[in-house]
Amino acid sequence: MDFKLGELFCGPGGLGLAALQTKIKKSNETYSLTHVWANDYDKDSCDTFRKNICPDKPKSVICKDVRLLNIKKLGKIDALSFGFPCNDFSAVGKKKGTDGNYGSLYSYGVKALDIFKPKWFLAENVGGLQSSNSGKAFNQIIKELVSTEYNLTVHLYPMEKYGVPQARRRIVIIGIRNDLGLTFQVPAPTTPIPITCKEALYNPPIPKNATNSELTKQSTQVIERLKHIKPGENAFNSNLPDHLRLNVKGARMSHIYKRLDPKKPAYTLTGSGGGGTHVYHWSENRALTNRERARLQTFPDNFHFMGSKESVRKQIGMVVPVVGAKEIFKAVLKTFANVRYASIPPSLGFHSKNNHIKTGLSQQHNLLENVSYQ
């Protein structure tokens, strides 16, 4: 069984690559996913997607604001993925939720479900989605998705427990059409001992000819500041001389000039910010290259990102890690193939039109216990 996949808010192709790489076999039948169409508003992200995911079908990537997209004219699909923009839900952003410029864009995923009625969908966003608008945004999104006649499984995935060398939390919603009589089970963690950032970056070493490996030109002051910051420390909890301290009022972001700890997974990469947010090596006085950042997002070294260095940094920071996404796609395909796999209860519950079970936050906290590397 081959599921024809459409993607809204596709970005550079984290989910797209994971989908193409995921296949399972049962008896003589193969379950897989095939790219049909994808959409994003960012030109560089679309160029990256075309080059790496569908170089033989460049016109299948529509670069346009989803609000101007004629969804009805897109090709028929069996599956839909939409990582709707997280700017208004992220802990790094202003948490405007559905009141922000990006917060209501999830509704275009709902629209696509109404039009195509695919067999299943995957929707994802940052963990901060739960608390936006005091939880109202999350509840509204779930309510609208339930109304589309899908049985939902909602879970907050700690990606470092799924083979990703990075402490990254993503809410993933899997919906299977009610009439199919299937319920998705959350796959059990695959990596009880998380992969460290040092292991991810140096085992094996990044090839010298790998693209997107440009170094950031660090100022003398930044280099001097980094010399005083130990692995795992940032600009606010390190012993900096007065002339190197940051003159910042209000919130003090924990990842500003934060060095990686080589004995732990990386802290969460982001696509936003400027100086001090580029993720810093634990021993070398420099920011990571985009290729190193891509390694932490589990992209293969031959995946080439298009655009300027800053554009590439943004693209990498926004994606769902490939390896983590593959584990979720694999579980979806096993669900349809009726193949049993190790699973855990969903941290944020099952939802359907006639049934609403919420497991409670205590279970979620138990799942994330001892994995806070932020």
Q: What is the pLDDT of residue 319?
A: 93
Per-residue pLDDT of the chain (374 residues; tens, 9 = 90+): 999 999 999 999 999 999 999 999 999 999 999 999 999 999 999 999 999 999 999 999 999 999 999 999 999 999 999 987 754 444 444 444 444 444 478 889 999 999 999 999 999 987 777 766 667 788 888 888 888 899 999 999 999 999 999 999 999 999 999 999 999 999 999 999 999 999 999 999 999 999 999 999 999 999 999 999 999 999 988 989 989 988 776 556 688 899 999 999 999 998 876 678 889 999 999 999 999 999 999 999 999 999 999 999 999 999 999 999 999 999 999 999 999 999 999 998 877 755 554 544 333 333 333 333 33
Q: Could you tell me if 38 and 49 are in contact, meaning their C-beta atoms sit under 8 angstroms apart?
A: yes
Q: What is the pLDDT of residue 133?
A: 66
Name the residue ranges covered by the structural domains of the chain: 2-192+321-367
- Model pTM score: 0.89
**The pLDDT value given to residue 91:** 45
Catalytic residue, from 10, 46, 54, 86: name it. 86
Q: Please name the amino acid found at residue 110.
A: V
Residue type, 282: W
Q: Which of 59, 60, 125 is nearest to 87 (CA)?
A: 125
Mark residue 47 as left, alpha or beta (left: phi above 0; alpha: psi -120 to 50; beta: remaining). alpha
Identify the residue whose tokens are 């994995």: 371
Strand partners, 158: 169
Nearest CA to 109 among 148, 139, 76? 148
Residue found under tokens 């138990």: 366
pLDDT at 76: 96
pLDDT score of 350: 78
Closest Cα to residue 100, out of 112, 86, 111? 86
Instruction: Determine whether 197 is an active site residue.
Output: no
Inter-CA distances, 251 with 3, 132, 269, Å: 46, 18, 19
pLDDT in the model for residue 252: 60
CATH 3.90.226.10 corresponds to the domain 2-192+321-367 = no
CA separation for the pair 88, 77 (Å, rounded): 29
